[in-house]
Structure 1
């Protein structure tokens, strides 16, 4: 695996630098064996932001050299000398517009070491937030953005002046503002901006708490009776052999999620090899980001999930046995901006509505994750095992030592009651 490029810290001065080896074929053109550039900071976080920009500029230099756009060999570099480049000079702090800051922020994302899909999704989400601000307020120089602009932007999100634009919920407004704030914080770290106007505006305090206070009767997961109603409904059971998109994924993703507490995207991205048998004979579902089109939410999300006997009886293994290795379990699901499982979510919501179990504020697919945790508590599955299965990090440093015993997990998962039997999912029952 290739190492991710990092800023170089000078051992004496403590100042960080970009250092890059010039490719052999470009040395006669550029006249250097190495590109070195001071990042003008001893702060590691600021260095990472400046490094991403300097690295992108060095890439442009190499590209220009290959395309014949580099004017003659440059003299040997010295520490602190700016990179030789034909790009326009860096704008002054006062003239850098928000669109330019966004462009450089997106460039920096590629240096984060995340998977290609996660980086691309991150860039799309944050670009959407900034472009919405530019549409509403204008593409101002970042130094000219004032707290009053942030308040005006937030007000227009919650209550648009244009009657044709749908107002956003407070939670969605907070999310857009947080993403805009991240781009402006990057600008502060890069030295283009003195302070972050989103933070200075204190807009999040004015918008109120992030989440409403939870009531004792609040339940973000399905109750047992609701699960039985959903899976016992004739419309749901007919989806088992559905064709096209999303096809039978609308049957299998909810069923597997109910028995595992796995996230929708973790299941939608599975490959044939991810459903496999261990030495003890038990079957497991492997959640791992070992391919470019697979991702995990956190480090603790990489895990093995034991397969309940009900899933085997329902035919989960038949989905993968005899299939070509290297293919996906649900090949009809195509990855788009909202992942593989977005289309399943869109199809699942109206089913919950027609079954009479839909509740505003409850995420119809993610609710299975909450239901699983509740069932695990009710039927004596220890919290540590439940956390292993769902990929929840405990926060205790000791839990990062050792491994999670698969045999223990396989035994504990069988404590879950037979939802399939209660809902009449088994043939001839």
Structure 2
């Protein structure tokens, strides 16, 4: 099936173009391998209309060239002049203020098909970014926001004029600007403004790369000795019977994360029925957003994770006792703005500091996800199985076909070494 031709949007300027490959038999006649023509607009709807006219003109050029009618009039420079210039309709809604544009954007989130929790969290995060701009720069009409305003705003985030305002790191500034840009891009797509001032400002290039260069000694996960140190520490082991909030969740969530590579929120939001036994006898943890208070990061995050035998021996199934289906595995965890697991993270960090394994820049709970991938590589778990377990998308379209065999995952997970035995949580033998 042939692809439908579409206008090309320049990644820096945001202006749309006609780009057409010149057929091989016409390249010597026309003198180019590609026809490229600015459609002189950053609005997608206008670009589609202008693209249709420009595309039809390029078709006529190719037809005349094949019929021997190609003349000086059709030289590439002349073609650009001959193709029709799109008529830009007058804007009628550019006077709306940024706060109103935000309201429209938040209303549009409900159309995305995401879960209620994810949509609400998305709305909160993006509203914070826009409201920070309004606080610093004023609630301007969106058509009045200029690229220069974005630069002033970014500079004030990193070096606030008010000494009482905490400066943001460059990474946090980039994230805030990206969210502001999304709201303004929605306004462009909705026909409210012609240009996204954040994109036009090219501020992200001035702020530098969003990701620091990887160093050879950069390890975001725990080493084997660090894992043993953490789980053998007396203060950690005493948390098995801890009560209250967060209680024993600080014992179980790090352990489960170490043996599965699961994300902290995926584990903190589990329900009793999410720990279940497969028909082959193996136990699995189900990660799925089947309730309003559960969410997944990506589509590939919905998965079944095999339970390592060590977790069974440690008493994971005892967490199910006395709890009816429909209740949460860690009922003491209360959902707040940062999810169920925030309090677990805050309680886990001091333990890593007491054990001497805390490192600035390494997320104390997310580090288990990196550790799991490293252990899987070291002990021969194939990458495809490791990706199934952690919910990492491979990027290959073929991997979206069929299902991930649970029996294979249950077998491969047993290749992991026993962290619990090395840390003295289980007897060696």
Name the TM-score class by shorter chain. Answer: 0.7 to 0.9
| Distance verdict in 2 for CA 1:112–1:43, change over 3 Å | farther
Query: Alpha-carbon deviation of 1:42?
Result: 9.2
Aligned to 2:290: 290
Question: After TM superposition, which residue ranges in structure 1, 4 or more long, deviate above 3 angstroms?
Answer: 40-44
Query: Alpha-carbon deviation of 1:208?
Result: 0.6
Matches within 5 A, 1:180-329: 180-329=180-329
Query: Alpha-carbon deviation of 1:94?
Result: 3.4
In the alignment, structure 2 segments of 5+ residues that lack a partner are: 1-43, 49-90
Instruction: Report the secondary structure of 2:132's partner residue.
Output: helix
Instruction: Report the secondary structure of 2:176's partner residue.
Output: helix
Instruction: Report the secondary structure of 1:111's partner residue.
Output: helix
Aligned to 1:394: 394
Query: Alpha-carbon deviation of 1:426?
Result: 2.3
Matches within 5 A, 1:337-352: 337-352=337-352
> Any conservation in 1 of the 2:222–2:370 contact (CA below 8 Å)?
yes
Matches within 5 A, 1:1-150: 92-150=92-150
Instruction: Report the secondary structure of 1:265's partner residue.
Output: helix
Instruction: Report the secondary structure of 1:110's partner residue.
Output: helix
In the aligned structure 2, how far is the partner of 1:42 from the partner of 1:147? 22
In the aligned structure 2, how far is the partner of 1:294 from the partner of 1:259? 21
In the aligned structure 1, how far is the partner of 2:397 from the partner of 2:111? 28
Query: Alpha-carbon deviation of 1:427?
Result: 6.6
In the aligned structure 2, how far is the partner of 1:94 from the partner of 1:419? 60
Aligned to 2:158: 158
In the aligned structure 1, how far is the partner of 2:95 from the partner of 2:300? 43
* Greater C-alpha Rg: 2
Aligned to 2:174: 174
In the alignment, structure 1 segments of 5+ residues that lack a partner are: 1-39, 45-90
| Distance verdict in 2 for CA 1:96–1:321, change over 3 Å | same
| Distance verdict in 2 for CA 1:314–1:198, change over 3 Å | same
> Any conservation in 1 of the 2:421–2:427 contact (CA below 8 Å)?
no
Instruction: Report the secondary structure of 1:246's partner residue.
Output: coil
In the aligned structure 2, how far is the partner of 1:400 from the partner of 1:302? 13
In the aligned structure 2, how far is the partner of 1:104 from the partner of 1:247? 42
In the aligned structure 1, how far is the partner of 2:358 from the partner of 2:166? 23
Q: Scaled by the length of structure 2, what TM-score is found? A: 0.78
Instruction: Report the secondary structure of 2:305's partner residue.
Output: strand
How large is the Cα RMSD of the aligned pairs? 1.7
In the aligned structure 1, how far is the partner of 2:272 from the partner of 2:420? 23
In the aligned structure 2, how far is the partner of 1:178 from the partner of 1:346? 27
Aligned to 1:366: 366
- Give the stretch that moved more between structures: 213-222 or 350-359: 350-359
Question: Is 2:425 aligned against 1:409?
Answer: no
Instruction: Report the secondary structure of 1:276's partner residue.
Output: strand
Query: Alpha-carbon deviation of 1:111?
Result: 1.4
Instruction: Report the secondary structure of 2:415's partner residue.
Output: coil
Instruction: Report the secondary structure of 1:414's partner residue.
Output: helix
| Distance verdict in 2 for CA 1:117–1:313, change over 3 Å | same
Instruction: Report the secondary structure of 1:94's partner residue.
Output: coil
Aligned to 2:87: none
> Any conservation in 1 of the 2:421–2:428 contact (CA below 8 Å)?
no
Provide Cα deviations, 1:165-193, integer angstroms capped at 9, x if missing partner: 11111111000000000000000011111
Q: Scaled by the length of structure 1, what TM-score is found? A: 0.78
- Give the stretch that moved more between structures: 287-296 or 121-130: 287-296
| Distance verdict in 2 for CA 1:428–1:217, change over 3 Å | closer
Aligned to 1:19: none
Query: Alpha-carbon deviation of 1:393?
Result: 0.7
Query: Alpha-carbon deviation of 1:41?
Result: 5.6
Instruction: Report the secondary structure of 2:295's partner residue.
Output: coil
Query: Alpha-carbon deviation of 1:92?
Result: 4.0
Query: Alpha-carbon deviation of 1:324?
Result: 1.0
